[in-house]
Structure 1
Amino acid sequence: MKNSIHPGYRPVVFRDRGAGFAFLTRSTVVSDQKVEWEDGNSYPVVDVDVSSASHPFYTGKSRVMDSTGAVEKFNRRYAQRRSG
Structure 2
Amino acid sequence: MQQDKQPDHPVVFRDRAVGYAFLTRSTATSDQTIEWDDGGTYPVVDVEISSESHPFYTGKARTVDTEGRISRFEKRYGGGGPAPGGDDAA
TM over 0.5, shorter chain: yes
* Aligned positions of 1:32-47 closer than 5 A: 32-47=31-46
Question: 2:16 corresponds to which residue?
Answer: 17
> How many corresponding residue pairs?
76
Q: Return the offset for 1:62.
A: 2.3
Structure of higher CA gyration radius: 2
CA distance in 2, matches of 1:31, 1:7: 16
Question: 1:55 corresponds to which residue?
Answer: 54
- TM-score when scaled to structure 1? 0.70
Q: Does 2:78 correspond to 1:81?
A: yes
RMSD: 2.6
Code of the aligned partner of 1:31: S
Code of the aligned partner of 2:28: V
Code of the aligned partner of 2:29: V
Percent of aligned positions that are identical? 54
CA distance in 2, matches of 1:7, 1:33: 21
Runs of 5+ unmatched residues, structure 1:
66-70
